[in-house]
Amino acid sequence: MQAVLAVMYREFLIRRTSPMWLFFDMLLPLLYLLMFGVALNKAMGAGMQAEGITVSYTEFFIAGVLAMSAFGSATNQSYGFFIDRDNGIFYEFLTYPMTRGQFLFGKILFQCIMSVVQCGLTLLAGVYLLDVSVRWNSIPFVFAGMMIGTAGWFFLFASLAFLIRRNDTFNTVLNGCYFILIFLSSMFYPLDNVPTWLRLASLANPLTWLTDGLRWLVIGVGDASFVLTEMALFVVFLFFSFWLALKALQRAV
C-alpha cells in the first residue's frame, strides 16, 4: 500500500504546482454546465422528452457533464505518461519496488478522488444555481459511477499512451476519440428520435453506457433494467481496459 500512496502523493504534488491542470480537473465541467446547460435550456423553453419524461435541458445535460468530466480527467491523466517519459521519470518509476498494477492503481485512485470532488462541485452548482432536481439518496452511487467511469477510460487511454511513441500521434488519436465518442453518445441529446444508425452506434459506445447510468442515478430518467445492463457492460469494459493497460505497459518496457 505504501507504493500506491507514494504514487498518489506525487500526483498531489503535481496538481499543487500546476494550477492549469487543476483547473481542467476541477472547474472545466462547471463551465460546460453553466454555458451549454443554461443556453440550451433557454432554447428548449418548456423542456424536452427523454424516455417519456419531460425534463429541462439542464437536468438532462448534467449527467452528460459528469460523464464528460470523467472522460476528460482520464485523458488528462493518461497524457501525463508522455510528460513522464520525456523527462525520464517514467522508466525510473518502473525500477521502484512496486508492481505495474500498483503503479497504475495509484495514479487512477488519485484521479478518482479528484473526479468525486469534481462531481460534488458540479452537482452543487446544478442544484443551487440552475435548480436541477437531484436524487440525493443516489449520490453515493453517482460517486461510485464517476470512479468507475474515470478508471475505465484512464486504463484505455493509458494503454494507447504506452504503445504510441510520438506526442503528436497520441494527441491526434485522443482528439479523434474525444469528438467521435462524445457526439456518438447520449450526452447531448436523447436517443428516442434519432436515426436508427445513430442510435445503434450510440448504444455500442461505452460513453453512452456511462452517461445513461449517471443520468438514471442523478435524475431518475431511464429504464432501470436497461441501464443496469449498460452499467454491467461498462464494468466489463473497465476490466478489459485494465488488462489492456497492463499488457501495454509490459510491452512499453
Contact 173, 164 (CB under 8 A): yes
Containing structural domain, residue 80: 2-250
Q: Which helix (H) or strand (E) holds 58?
A: helix 57-87
Residue 62: predicted pLDDT: 87
Q: Is residue 73 exposed (0-12), middle (13-18) or buried (19+ Cβ within 10 Å)?
A: buried
Residue 230: predicted pLDDT: 92
Given a cut of 60, whether residue 23 has pLDDT beyond it is yes
Most confident of 27-31, 105-109, 227-231, 246-250: 227-231
Helix axes 139-163, 206-219, angle to 10 degrees: 160
Instruction: Give the count of domains, the chain.
Output: 1
Given a cut of 90, whether residue 235 has pLDDT beyond it is yes
State the cell numbers at 139: 449520490
Burial 220-247 (b: 16+ CB within 10 A, else e): bbbeeeebeebbebbeebbeebbebbbe
Quote the CA–CA distance of 72 and 69 in Å, as a whole number.
5
Q: Average pLDDT of 12-30? A: 70
Residue 217: predicted pLDDT: 92
Q: What is the pLDDT of residues 31-68, one digit of tens each?
A: 777 777 666 666 565 566 666 677 777 888 888 888 98
Q: What is the pLDDT of residues 103-134, one digit of tens each?
A: 777 888 888 888 888 888 888 888 888 788 88
* Phi and psi torsions of 85, nearest 5°: -70, -35
Given a cut of 90, whether residue 144 has pLDDT beyond it is yes
Which of the four pLDDT bands, split at 50, 70 and 90, describes residue 148? very high
Longest dimension (CA), the chain: 59
Residue 49: predicted pLDDT: 64
* Phi and psi torsions of 155, nearest 5°: -65, -35
Q: In degrees to the nearest 10, what's the CA dihedral of 137, 141, 146, 150?
A: 180
Contacts of 103 (CB under 8 A, 6+ apart): 3, 7, 93, 94, 249
Q: What is the pLDDT of residues 166-208, one digit of tens each?
A: 777 877 888 888 888 888 888 888 887 778 888 898 999 999 9
Q: Which of 92, 89, 205, 74 is nearest to 146 (CA)?
A: 74
* Phi and psi torsions of 54, nearest 5°: -90, 120
- CA dist list (Å): 243 to 28, 60, 158, 246: 30, 33, 11, 5
CA 36 to chain centre: 18
Quote the CA–CA distance of 11 and 119 in Å, as a whole number.
19
**pLDDT averaged over the chain?**
81
